[in-house]
Every structure is written in C-alpha cells, then in structure tokens.
C-alpha cells in the first residue's frame, strides 16, 4: 500500500515537471508554429497596343500603352520597354490592348505579310504613292533614303501667249492694207513713200500701214518716233520671246516610300547604292575596266513619294509639262510645320539679295561669254584608256 502511494507521488511529480518544462519552452518560442514567408510579387510594365495598328504601320510612342504584369509570368518576346518598339513596323494588324511581341514587328518596311504588293501597307489611309524622276543633283547627291521626308521645289518657264490663238507673242503680221491708207502695194511688194509734212502721230500711222502691207509674215512690232532724225521706225523683235523662269517650293514634309526601282518578284529586295568613283573623289583617275565596273552599279533615277491625291495630280502635271523637280532633305524629328515661301524670279533675286545689274562698260571678258560654264564636279569619273 505504501509502495503504491510512492508511485503516485512520483507520477504527480513527473507531470508537474513536464508541465513546467512545456511552459518554459513555449515561452522561449520552441513550440511556436513557424509560418513560411510569402514571396514578394514584382510587377513590370507590359507594352500593349494603345490603338488598332494597321499592318505595315511604323509604330510611334502615341500608339502604345502599358499595364502592370507579374514579372515571373513574363515570357520571352514580350516588351517592357516601349522604346524598343517605337520605330518598328507592324508585320500584322495589331488590335488595341494586345501585348506586342517581337514576332509581330519588323525593323524594315515592306516585309509585312498579306496579299498583293507589300508596299501598300506603308501608305497611310487617304494618301497615295507616285514616282518622279531624279538625278544626282535633284536628289541631294543620292543622299535621300527610304523613310526620309523631303520638300519638293518646282522650276518652270513661263511665256506670254495670245489668249485666242494660244501661241507665243508677238504675233506675225499679214498683208492687210487699212482703208484710206496712203500706202499702195506695187507689183514688187514695195510701198510708195509716205506723204511729207506730216506730224509725228500721222507719220507713225502711215508707217504702220506701209509696214503691215509690205512685211507680211514678219513679227508684229511697234512704231517708235526718233526725235533726233525726226522720223518714225517700225521696231520688230530681234529674237523669239524669252521665257521667264520661276521657282517655288510646292510641297513640304513629304514622306519617301522608296528610292530607286521597286524589285520585281524573284529579285533581291534591297540593293545597296554603291559609292561610285571613290578614286575620282580623291582626285585620282581610274582605268576603263574600273569605270566599266562602276557603271554596272545601278544608281537610282526614280523616287516614290507618299502624297495626298491632289498633290499627286499636281506632280503628274509638273512632270508632263517639263518642269524641273528638286528634292531637299528635311531634318530629323516629327515636324509637320509648313513654311510660307515666296516664288523666286529674276526680280526677286535682284531685289532680295541686292544684286546689281552690271553696268555697260567700255571693256569686257575675253573670250566672249554668252552662257555660263557648268563646273565639273569633283567626283565625276574621268576615264583613261590603259595602254
């Protein structure tokens, strides 16, 4: 009996010790249940199409938008930096709100997927493309490239016309004798002498009548009275009418679709423009074989511009009327401003730039200079035959 009590006391002591030990260890945090740390979610800005982007359109910053997207769910090919998208071309039509992936973009124009010509995708709605001829001087020495923006200068010659005949003035005269004239045509085609003792006005009238009757087919002139000789002269032009040159910037900020001829199906897409005459640029001569090789490099003789339909009609008229078209290259950046320019004529040049009309001097240049001599450009190819 006594032994049984001893076991009870020992059990109670063990229970108390265990309870005290548990409470002590719990206060030390040994039995506090551990909680796993929740990983921090990092969001990035996913680049989206802020509007519907048509196929072949060059993407600008205002076409884009963004949304927060978990970085750990970002897949390869999506963009978080919009600067990597700006300037690229859409290979497919991209709907608004769609994330832009690298497979949707191309760094070169004209490679968009779709039937028909690949170039139509680069022409904005409401505009059209037209090709005009160019030379080395009219195209900024072949410095214009696809995607540039240019201004168009047109130069043309104007002349006075007879409104009814639509022919150059002055008109030719015909053999008509006015009624009551004192001039009589003889069989040889000459006229009798005018009456004497006439005042200048009567003398001019009589002289015009004689001239008209005796100069059939000659240019129509005018009668002038010479006070020194007290006689009248009938003055006719010494040459045909000189057309008058005028130049004006007719179009500004025009996008360039392509410089050179478009490749036909099966041809290479882009042909680099070679720098012909590198040796000549250094002031050296080249052999005939080298010149033949340089001549094989095709230089562009045509350029295609993106214009409004009315401007396309104007360019077509200018080309067919023989006007000279010159392209000037605009600077970088989006600049839609239009500068008001004045037409340039001979009178404008003389007054605007204070150019003096040369005086009639008792001496002159030898040899006689009737036309301006065109200078030779430094990089013109000089062909020498090899012996």
Condensed to tens digits (0 to 9), the pLDDT of residues 71-89 reads: 777 778 888 888 988 988 8
**Strand 231-235 with 222-226, pairing:** antiparallel
pLDDT of 222: 85
- Residue 190's pLDDT is 43
Which range is most confident: 21-30, 188-197, 211-220, 259-268? 259-268
Lowest mean pLDDT among 2-6, 148-152, 353-357: 2-6
Adjacent-strand bridge partners of 158: 244
Of 44-48, 163-167, 293-297, where does the model show the most confidence? 163-167
The model's pLDDT over 142-179, given as tens digits with 9 standing for 90+, comes to 999 988 999 999 999 999 999 999 999 998 877 655 55
Percentage, residues of the chain above pLDDT 70 = 68
Average pLDDT over residues 115-141: 87
pLDDT for the residue numbered 13:
75
> Cβ contacts of residue 49 below 8 Å, gap of 6+?
63, 64, 65, 94, 95, 96, 97, 98, 100
> Could you tell me the pLDDT band of residue 218, with boundaries at 50, 70 and 90?
confident
Helix (H, G, I), strand (E, B), or coil: what is residue 129? strand
pLDDT category at 139 given cuts 50, 70, 90 is very high
Query: Which stretches does DSSP call E strand in 199-341?
Result: 222-226, 231-235, 244-259, 286-287, 302-307, 324-329
What confidence tens digit (pLDDT) does each residue in 51-71 have? 888 777 788 898 898 888 887
Checking if the pLDDT of 349 tops 70, the result is yes
Task: Give the pLDDT confidence score for residue 378 in this predicted structure.
Answer: 73
At 382 the pLDDT is 63
CA 260 from chain centre, in angstroms, equals 13
Q: What are phi and psi of 123, to 5 degrees?
A: -100, 115
Please report, for residues 56, 311, 337, the alpha-carbon distance to residue 254 in angstroms, rounded to integers and kept in the order given. 18, 10, 12
> Distance (Å, rounded) from C-alpha 245 to C-alpha 156?
6
Q: In the predicted model, what is the mean pLDDT of the chain?
A: 77
Please report which residue ranges of the chain form alpha helices under DSSP H.
Answer: 2-27, 200-214, 278-281, 288-295, 309-320, 346-352
| pLDDT, tens digit (0-9, with 9 covering 90-100), for 198-214 | 566 655 556 555 555 45
CB-based contact 93:52 (threshold 8 Å): yes
Q: What is the pLDDT of residues 305-345, one digit of tens each?
A: 999 999 999 999 999 999 999 999 998 765 677 889 999 99
pLDDT at 373 (0 to 100) = 75
What's the pLDDT at 371? 82
Mean pLDDT across the stretch 257-267?
81
Q: Decide if 338 contacts 250 (C-beta within 8 A).
A: no
Tokens of 87: 């300037």
What contacts 20, CB < 8 A, 6 or more positions away? none
232, 211 contact by CB (below 8 A): no
Please state whether the peptide bond connecting residue 340 to the residue before it is cis, i.e. omega within 30 degrees of 0: no
- pLDDT at position 28 is 62
Task: State the pLDDT at residue 162.
Answer: 92
pLDDT of residue 183: 47
């Amino acid at each position: 009996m006594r032994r049984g009590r001893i076991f009870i006391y020992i059990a109670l002591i063990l229970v108390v010790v265990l309870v005290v030990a548990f409470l002590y260890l719990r206060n030390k945090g040994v039995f506090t249940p551990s909680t796993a740390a929740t990983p921090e979610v990092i969001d990035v800005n996913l680049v989206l199409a802020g509007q519907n982007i048509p196929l072949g359109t060059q993407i600008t910053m205002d076409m884009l938008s963004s949304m927060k997207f978990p970085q750990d769910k970002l897949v390869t090919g999506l963009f978080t930096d919009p600067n990597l998208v700006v300037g690229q071309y859409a290979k497919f039509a991209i709907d608004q709100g769609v994330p832009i992936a690298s497979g949707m973009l191309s760094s070169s124009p004209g490679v968009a997927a779709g039937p028909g010509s690949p170039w139509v995708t680069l022409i904005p709605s409401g505009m059209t493309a037209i090709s005009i001829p160019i030379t080395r001087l009219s195209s900024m020495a072949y410095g214009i490239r696809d995607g540039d923006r240019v201004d168009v200068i047109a130069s043309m010659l104007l002349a006075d016309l007879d409104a009814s005949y639509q022919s150059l003035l002055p008109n030719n005269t015909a053999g008509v004798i006015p009624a009551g004239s004192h001039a009589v045509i003889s069989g040889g085609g000459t006229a009798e002498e005018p009456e004497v003792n006439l005042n200048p006005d009567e003398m001019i009238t009589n002289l015009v009548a004689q001239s008209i009757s005796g100069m059939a087919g000659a240019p129509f002139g005018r009668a002038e009275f010479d006070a020194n000789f007290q006689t009248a002269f009938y003055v006719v032009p010494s040459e045909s009418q000189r057309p008058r040159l005028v130049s004006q910037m007719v179009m500004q900020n025009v996008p360039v679709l392509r410089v050179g001829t478009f490749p036909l199906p099966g041809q290479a897409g882009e042909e680099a423009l070679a720098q012909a005459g590198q040796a000549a640029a250094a002031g050296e001569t080249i052999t005939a074989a080298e010149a033949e090789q340089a001549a094989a490099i095709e230089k562009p003789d045509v350029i295609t511009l993106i214009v409004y339909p009315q401007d396309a009609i104007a360019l077509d008229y200018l080309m067919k009327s023989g006007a000279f078209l010159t392209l000037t290259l605009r600077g970088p950046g989006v600049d839609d401003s239009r500068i008001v320019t004045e037409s340039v004529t001979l009178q404008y040049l003389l007054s605007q730039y204070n150019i003096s009309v040369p005086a009639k001097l008792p001496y002159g240049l030898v040899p006689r200079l009737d036309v301006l001599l065109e200078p030779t450009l430094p990089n013109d190819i000089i062909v020498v035959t090899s012996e």
